[in-house]
Structure 1
Amino acid sequence: MYENRMKVEFQSKSQNESFARVAVAAFVSQLDPTIEEITDVKTAVSEAVTNSIIHGYENKDGIVTIEAVIKDNEVTITVSDEGRGIDNIEQAMQPLYTSRPDLERSGMGFTVMETFMDSLEVYSEAGKGTKVVMKKTFKSIC
């Protein structure tokens, strides 16, 4: 069984969203993904990180943590923050729902994550933060 892991933390600044995408893409590249697979992962990570910055920390200073674990040909990516949390996860995961209509957000973040990854789990507690766990299995094996 092949296993590898990485963890990265960065400030909750929108400029770091592209760093997060590239860091996870570089880590996942050891699985020799297709262009489509790597694009799916980057898009899902981008959405999760953006949610942490915009909704979790409401553009205030905080730390976003990404952990990724590869086991054989599956990656589990966890994006977490210690921000405001989600009051109603079920409602937040509905397509087109946004808690920040003032920012003209599309409300499609969780839908995008679900579309591009094989599984999505969201854990959150008001005032304590949110953890998004996404998994994707790759066709190739390292």
Structure 2
Amino acid sequence: MKIINEMKISFKSKSENEGFARTAVCAFAAFLDPGIEDIADLRTAVSEAVTNCIVHAYRGTEGIIEITARILNDNEIYIRIKDKGCGIPDIKRAMEPLYTTAPCEERAGLGFAVMESFMDKLTVKSTVGKGTVVTMRKKLGAANE
């Protein structure tokens, strides 16, 4: 894996920053000349990951969300989204469709399933009380056709 380019951003876990995060990652990925479908996939996966940080990791408090994105050889993008929130006690269960820890019933519990469906690879690592790291990879543009 050769890193062609890299960017890092961090921002407060506020709902209004979710759009900023997905736009920043998509703008960074533009170098790979992704198609409309690739951009939609990236936007959705990043939105879901950041929303998980806001809703679940920090649970009504504020913290910092960090995103690292890398352009790799073979037109692949690597995205790491990290929080220092409450952590996930049971990652396997949290990744099951329809499972949610949100106190209200307006959450569908599909965040990880959506990320997994739009990306080529999804990895979730978490430590209770220390936070969670979501890593996603996807081939874009001509390499994905």
Superposition TM-score tier, normalisation by shorter sequence: over 0.9
State the secondary structure of the residue aligned to 2:133.
strand
2:55 corresponds in structure 1 to 54
Quick one: distance in 1 between partners of 2:6 and 2:60? 29
**RMSD, aligned CA:** 1.2
Stretches (4+) displaced over 4 A: none
Structure 2 residue matching 1:102: 3-state secondary structure: coil
| Separation (CA, whole Å) in 1 of partners of 2:133 and 2:141 | 26
% identity of equivalent residues: 54
CA spacing shift, 1:91–1:16, aligned 2, 3 Å: same
Inter-partner Cα distance in structure 1 for 2:127 and 2:85: 9
Counterpart among 123, 126, 143 of residue 121 in structure 1:
123
- SS at structure 2 position matched to 1:28: helix
Identify the match of residue 95 of structure 1 among 85, 94, 97: 97
Deviation at 1:140, TM superposition (A): 2.4
Question: Would the alpha carbon gap of residues 12 and 2 (structure 1) be closer, same or farther in structure 2, given more than 3 Å must change?
Answer: closer
For residues 140 and 9 of structure 1, the distance between their equivalents in structure 2, rounded to whole angstroms, comes to 30
Q: In the TM superposition, what whole-angstrom CA distance separates every residue of 1:31-89 from its partner, at most 9, and x where no partner exists?
A: 00000001100100000000001000013110000000111200110000000000100
For normalisation by structure 1, the TM-score amounts to 0.96
Q: Normalising by the residue count of structure 2, what TM-score does the alignment of the two structures yield?
A: 0.94
- Partners of 2:64 and 2:93 lie apart in 1 by 25
Unmatched runs of 5 consecutive residues or more in structure 1: none
- Secondary structure, counterpart of 1:48 in structure 2: helix
- Check conservation: 2:83, 2:131, Cα contact below 8 A: yes
Shift, 1:2, TM fit: 6.5
Specify the SS of the correspondent of 2:104.
helix
Task: State the distance in 2 between where 1:84 and 1:125 align.
Answer: 8
- Map 1:28-67 to 2 at 5 A: 28-67=29-68
Q: CA deviation at 1:102?
A: 1.4
The answer on whether the counterparts of 1:82 and 1:128 sit within 8 Å (CA) in structure 2 is yes
Unpaired stretches in structure 2, ≥5 consecutive residues: none
Structure-1 residue corresponding to 2:114: 112
**CA shift at 1:4, angstroms?**
0.2
- Aligned-partner residue type, residue 122 of structure 1: V
